[in-house]
Every structure is written in structure tokens, then in C-alpha cells.
Amino acid sequence: MVAEFIRITHDDDAWHGRFFDFVAGIFSDGNFRPWAARGGWDADYEVLAFVEGEQILASVGRSRMNLIVRGRRVAGIQLGAVATDRAHRGQGLSRRLIERILGERQDSTQPILLFANPSVLDFYPRFGFQRLVQRRVMAGLAASPGGAPARPADLGRLEERQRLAQLCRHAAASGTLLSAHNYYFILLWHLSCRPLQGFWLDEQAAFVAVERRGDRLVIHECLAPRRFALDRGVPRLIAAPIREVEFGFDPAGWWETPAPASSEDGEALLFVQGDVPSGGDFRFPNLAQT
């Protein structure tokens, strides 16, 4: 049987379960079901795939995104779920899907990005992608729990998800060199499928997503209509003392003291194409990554 090309969109329910099973069999974090059950798959996400009958052989997920590039909002694309069934590798299926996506762009300057794993570092440059090193941002902070604890977010409730979606539309974007804005459907995947904790800081109309790693607090996301001194709110986000903070976004304007320090991030392997910066000190938001 010859492989057939299809698109799986948000309303192609018959293919959703097959896609979820396909990615779960390849990626360790490939559980899409909780995200879809909460309405996360919308019109901005689609999957290009090759299939035989009802079996998916290869896939590439395409997310249409609002990117921030050099301070301007532009329409961009992010790729994810680039995968091929083990029995059908070496047949050029992923290559054909990526080439189709590149051919469907507005033009060759439209920004397109993806995050890769170390096993495929030589694959994406074949399509004109270049590796772009981003920064890992840390701050030493000895803090203990204090103040009124922040209210945990319950994203199992529709009204809480609606509030978060509304906040995403109006939140101040972090970073200006290369960042993103209003990526609720991607944010919801991380919050639904990863062991993260979400909190509301109601006084600032803010949402904060964190993860505890030993004595380090990783602040993956902070969304608010305007920047505020997030470091003052850290005691309300923790249940035990911490010694340092890591940021999953550009903390400029969010952090007063101590000053964050950045270093090269060798783990989040970012590849880009189109009209994007060739380098610089930036952090693409963790929870905007697919």
C-alpha cells in the first residue's frame, strides 16, 4: 500500500486517538489526551501525516503562533511531534512533510522554529535551519514560605481555563528579541501533561507556573497584564525553603534583586529559519515550546 498524505485538524475527531497513540509510542512525554480533553486542540494546531489505512507512519505538528521578533509581533510557525514509525524510517517521510510545510509558508522570511533532541542535530540543517543558542537564566534566592499562600489553579474547571485563556490574550510578553505572545493552547498542554503547579496571584491578576527541583524553584511562566516584582511573591509560591530560582522566560522587568545571571543553554536545542535574529541574549518561553 502506498503512503497517503493527510492533515489532521482540530475537528478531525476520528484521527485524534490514532495520533495520540502514535506519539505516545515514540515520545516519553507524548500524552496528548488530557490536553485535548480540556479543549486544547484548536484551529492553530494541525498535524501533517503519512498514513496507510488507519495507521500513522509519520507526523509533523504545526503550530501557528504569534511571535515577538525584535520587538515586533509577527505570524510564525513552530514544528513539533516530528516522528516516524520505527518500521518506516529511512524512507524520507519526515523530509517530505517538512518540505511541504516550508513550501506552504507565506514566504521564505516567515519565522519558523522547532526544538530538537540531540539525536537529530544534523537533520534540520539540511532544510536551511540554523541552530540558535538561547540563555539559561538563574538567580540565587534564599527564601522560605511566607505570607498568604498563592491560590492553586484548578484547570480541570472550565471557568479557570477560560480565565487563563483571557489572560494569555492580554498579558505582557516576556522578551523582545525572540519570544511569543498568546500561546494558550501550547501553555495548556504543558499544564495538563507535565507535573507543573499553577497559581493565581490575584492582587496582580497574575498566573504563575512553577516546578520544584530540590532546593531550586523553576518559574516556567508568569503571565500578568503588567510586570511586577515577582521575587516578592516567591514566598507565597513555595511550601519549603529554596536557595535559587531558574526562569523559563526572560525575567527582565519581573525581578528586582538579586540580579539574574545568564549562561548558554545546551539542553533546549532551538533551530530557526526565516527572518529571525542570528543570536543574542534571549530566552524563548519554556511553556511556548512544542
**CA–CA dist 171, 229 (Å, integer):** 15
| CATH number of the domain to which 76 belongs | 3.40.630.30
Query: Which domain covers residue 154, as residue numbers?
Result: 136-264+282-288
Last residue in a domain, options 109, 133, 157: 133
Helix (H) or strand (E) holding 96: helix 93-103
Measure Cα distances from 232 to 34, 63, 227 in Å.
33, 35, 12
224 with 123, same domain? no
The domain tally of the chain equals 2
pLDDT of residue 115: 96
17 with 126, same domain? yes
pLDDT of residue 1: 59
Question: Using alpha carbons only, how large is the chain's radius of gyration in Å?
Answer: 19
pLDDT of residue 249: 96
Measure Cα distances from 133 to 76, 216, 270, 290 in Å.
19, 23, 7, 17
Single-letter amino acid code for the residue at 47: V
| Binned average pLDDT, 10 residues per bin, the chain of 290 residues | 92 96 89 95 97 97 97 96 94 96 94 92 94 95 97 98 97 93 97 96 97 98 96 97 97 92 92 93 96
pLDDT of residue 69: 97
Ranges of beta strands (E only) in 88-188 are 112-116, 130-132, 135-143, 151-152, 178-181
Q: Is residue 272 part of a domain?
A: no
Q: Is residue 164 part of a domain?
A: yes
| CATH number of the domain to which 204 belongs | 3.40.630
Is this model's pTM higher than 0.85 or not?
yes
